[in-house]
Structure 1
Amino acid sequence: MAEAINDEDPHDTHRTPGGAARLFALVSWPSFLVAAVAELVFFSVINPQELYLLGEPVGFSPVATYSIGFFGFWAVAGASSLLTAWLAEKLPAR
Protein backbone atom coordinates (compact mmCIF):
# COMPACT_ATOMS: atom_id res chain seq x y z
CA MET A 1 0.00 0.00 0.00
CA ALA A 2 1.08 3.52 -0.70
CA GLU A 3 1.89 5.51 2.38
CA ALA A 4 0.25 8.94 2.72
CA ILE A 5 2.74 11.78 2.69
CA ASN A 6 2.15 14.41 5.34
CA ASP A 7 3.95 17.63 4.40
CA GLU A 8 2.61 19.51 7.41
CA ASP A 9 4.78 20.02 10.46
CA PRO A 10 2.84 18.65 13.47
CA HIS A 11 4.35 21.38 15.64
CA ASP A 12 3.37 24.24 13.33
CA THR A 13 0.61 26.20 15.07
CA HIS A 14 0.50 29.06 12.56
CA ARG A 15 -2.79 28.98 10.67
CA THR A 16 -3.68 31.14 7.75
CA PRO A 17 -7.35 32.11 7.81
CA GLY A 18 -9.25 31.19 4.71
CA GLY A 19 -12.69 31.73 3.30
CA ALA A 20 -15.14 33.38 5.64
CA ALA A 21 -12.63 34.11 8.43
CA ARG A 22 -10.32 35.91 6.01
CA LEU A 23 -13.19 37.88 4.49
CA PHE A 24 -14.43 38.84 7.97
CA ALA A 25 -10.97 40.12 8.93
CA LEU A 26 -10.52 41.99 5.65
CA VAL A 27 -13.90 43.69 5.99
CA SER A 28 -14.35 44.27 9.72
CA TRP A 29 -10.96 45.74 10.67
CA PRO A 30 -10.78 48.57 8.08
CA SER A 31 -14.45 49.36 8.58
CA PHE A 32 -13.89 49.52 12.36
CA LEU A 33 -11.10 52.06 11.87
CA VAL A 34 -13.18 54.15 9.46
CA ALA A 35 -16.14 54.06 11.88
CA ALA A 36 -13.91 55.28 14.72
CA VAL A 37 -12.68 58.23 12.65
CA ALA A 38 -16.21 59.02 11.42
CA GLU A 39 -17.48 58.91 15.01
CA LEU A 40 -14.79 61.32 16.17
CA VAL A 41 -15.41 63.76 13.33
CA PHE A 42 -19.22 63.60 13.50
CA PHE A 43 -19.54 64.02 17.26
CA SER A 44 -16.88 66.69 17.45
CA VAL A 45 -19.22 68.83 15.35
CA ILE A 46 -22.65 67.56 16.48
CA ASN A 47 -23.88 67.55 20.09
CA PRO A 48 -25.75 64.26 20.77
CA GLN A 49 -28.29 66.14 22.91
CA GLU A 50 -29.29 68.26 19.90
CA LEU A 51 -30.03 65.41 17.46
CA TYR A 52 -33.50 65.00 16.00
CA LEU A 53 -35.05 61.86 14.53
CA LEU A 54 -38.20 62.28 12.42
CA GLY A 55 -38.79 65.74 13.87
CA GLU A 56 -38.54 64.63 17.50
CA PRO A 57 -35.51 65.09 19.76
CA VAL A 58 -33.57 61.90 20.38
CA GLY A 59 -34.31 60.76 23.92
CA PHE A 60 -31.23 58.56 24.42
CA SER A 61 -28.38 59.28 26.78
CA PRO A 62 -25.20 60.67 25.20
CA VAL A 63 -23.38 57.33 25.68
CA ALA A 64 -26.22 55.45 23.97
CA THR A 65 -26.21 57.98 21.14
CA TYR A 66 -22.44 57.59 20.71
CA SER A 67 -22.79 53.80 20.69
CA ILE A 68 -25.65 53.75 18.20
CA GLY A 69 -23.77 56.22 16.01
CA PHE A 70 -20.59 54.13 16.10
CA PHE A 71 -22.39 50.92 15.14
CA GLY A 72 -24.24 52.79 12.39
CA PHE A 73 -20.98 54.13 10.99
CA TRP A 74 -19.44 50.66 11.32
CA ALA A 75 -22.35 49.07 9.42
CA VAL A 76 -22.07 51.58 6.56
CA ALA A 77 -18.28 51.25 6.38
CA GLY A 78 -18.57 47.45 6.59
CA ALA A 79 -21.05 47.38 3.73
CA SER A 80 -18.67 49.50 1.68
CA SER A 81 -15.70 47.23 2.46
CA LEU A 82 -17.74 44.11 1.72
CA LEU A 83 -18.86 45.53 -1.62
CA THR A 84 -15.25 46.38 -2.47
CA ALA A 85 -14.10 42.85 -1.56
CA TRP A 86 -16.89 41.32 -3.63
CA LEU A 87 -16.11 43.50 -6.65
CA ALA A 88 -12.36 42.81 -6.35
CA GLU A 89 -13.11 39.07 -6.39
CA LYS A 90 -15.06 39.48 -9.64
CA LEU A 91 -12.20 41.22 -11.47
CA PRO A 92 -10.72 39.18 -14.30
CA ALA A 93 -7.24 37.77 -13.72
CA ARG A 94 -4.46 39.43 -15.69
Structure 2
Amino acid sequence: MGKRLMWILWPSFIVGGIAEGVFFTLIDPQELYLLGEPVHWSPIAVYSVGFFMFWLIAAASSAFTCFLQRTTSEGAD
Protein backbone atom coordinates (compact mmCIF):
# COMPACT_ATOMS: atom_id res chain seq x y z
CA MET A 1 0.00 0.00 0.00
CA GLY A 2 2.80 2.43 0.88
CA LYS A 3 4.56 1.79 -2.41
CA ARG A 4 1.37 2.44 -4.37
CA LEU A 5 0.79 5.65 -2.41
CA MET A 6 4.31 6.75 -3.33
CA TRP A 7 3.54 6.00 -7.00
CA ILE A 8 0.54 8.31 -6.75
CA LEU A 9 1.76 11.20 -4.60
CA TRP A 10 5.34 11.74 -5.77
CA PRO A 11 4.66 12.17 -9.52
CA SER A 12 1.57 14.24 -8.78
CA PHE A 13 3.68 16.50 -6.54
CA ILE A 14 6.08 17.12 -9.42
CA VAL A 15 3.23 17.73 -11.87
CA GLY A 16 1.53 20.07 -9.37
CA GLY A 17 4.71 22.13 -9.07
CA ILE A 18 5.16 22.34 -12.83
CA ALA A 19 1.49 23.20 -13.40
CA GLU A 20 1.65 25.95 -10.77
CA GLY A 21 4.79 27.37 -12.33
CA VAL A 22 3.26 27.46 -15.80
CA PHE A 23 -0.10 28.80 -14.58
CA PHE A 24 1.30 31.61 -12.45
CA THR A 25 3.87 32.54 -15.09
CA LEU A 26 0.92 33.43 -17.32
CA ILE A 27 -1.56 34.73 -14.70
CA ASP A 28 -1.03 37.34 -11.99
CA PRO A 29 -2.52 36.17 -8.65
CA GLN A 30 -3.81 39.70 -7.94
CA GLU A 31 -6.03 39.50 -11.05
CA LEU A 32 -7.86 36.29 -10.10
CA TYR A 33 -11.61 36.22 -9.54
CA LEU A 34 -13.54 33.65 -7.51
CA LEU A 35 -17.30 33.42 -8.16
CA GLY A 36 -17.27 36.86 -9.81
CA GLU A 37 -15.48 38.58 -6.93
CA PRO A 38 -11.78 39.54 -6.86
CA VAL A 39 -9.63 37.37 -4.61
CA HIS A 40 -8.25 39.48 -1.74
CA TRP A 41 -5.61 37.02 -0.57
CA SER A 42 -1.89 37.57 -0.38
CA PRO A 43 0.08 36.26 -3.37
CA ILE A 44 1.69 33.57 -1.18
CA ALA A 45 -1.76 32.30 -0.12
CA VAL A 46 -2.90 32.19 -3.76
CA TYR A 47 0.27 30.33 -4.77
CA SER A 48 -0.18 27.84 -1.91
CA VAL A 49 -3.84 27.14 -2.62
CA GLY A 50 -3.08 26.89 -6.33
CA PHE A 51 -0.30 24.38 -5.73
CA PHE A 52 -2.46 22.19 -3.51
CA MET A 53 -5.31 22.30 -6.04
CA PHE A 54 -2.99 21.29 -8.90
CA TRP A 55 -1.49 18.57 -6.68
CA LEU A 56 -4.96 17.26 -5.79
CA ILE A 57 -6.02 17.11 -9.45
CA ALA A 58 -2.80 15.33 -10.45
CA ALA A 59 -3.11 12.90 -7.50
CA ALA A 60 -6.69 12.07 -8.48
CA SER A 61 -5.51 11.37 -12.02
CA SER A 62 -2.67 9.14 -10.80
CA ALA A 63 -4.95 7.30 -8.37
CA PHE A 64 -7.47 6.64 -11.14
CA THR A 65 -4.66 5.30 -13.35
CA CYS A 66 -3.53 2.95 -10.56
CA PHE A 67 -7.13 1.83 -10.09
CA LEU A 68 -7.46 1.00 -13.79
CA GLN A 69 -4.14 -0.90 -13.82
CA ARG A 70 -5.18 -3.37 -11.11
CA THR A 71 -5.32 -7.00 -12.13
CA THR A 72 -8.21 -9.29 -11.29
CA SER A 73 -6.28 -10.93 -8.44
CA GLU A 74 -5.45 -7.53 -6.91
CA GLY A 75 -9.09 -6.45 -7.04
CA ALA A 76 -10.16 -9.50 -5.04
CA ASP A 77 -7.92 -8.60 -2.06
TM-score by length of 1: 0.74
Q: Percent identity?
A: 52
Q: How does 1:24-35 map to 2 (within 5 A)?
A: 24-35=5-16
Q: How many residues align?
A: 73
The gaps in structure 2 that reach 5 residues or longer are none
The 1:49–1:82 alpha-carbon spacing in structure 2 relative to 1, beyond 3 Å, is: same
- Higher relative helix content: 2
Hey, which bits of structure 1, 4+ residues long, moved more than 2 A? none
Q: Which has the larger radius of gyration?
A: 1
Question: Considering only aligned residues, what root-mean-square deviation do their CA atoms show, in Å?
Answer: 1.4
- Measured against aligned partners, the alpha-carbon deviations of 1:41-72 in whole angstroms (never above 9, x if no partner) come to 00000000000000000011000000000000
Relative CO higher for 1 or 2, CA cutoff 8 Å, sep ≥ 6?
A: 2
Q: Are positions 1:42 and 2:34 aligned together?
A: no
The gaps in structure 1 that reach 5 residues or longer are 1-19
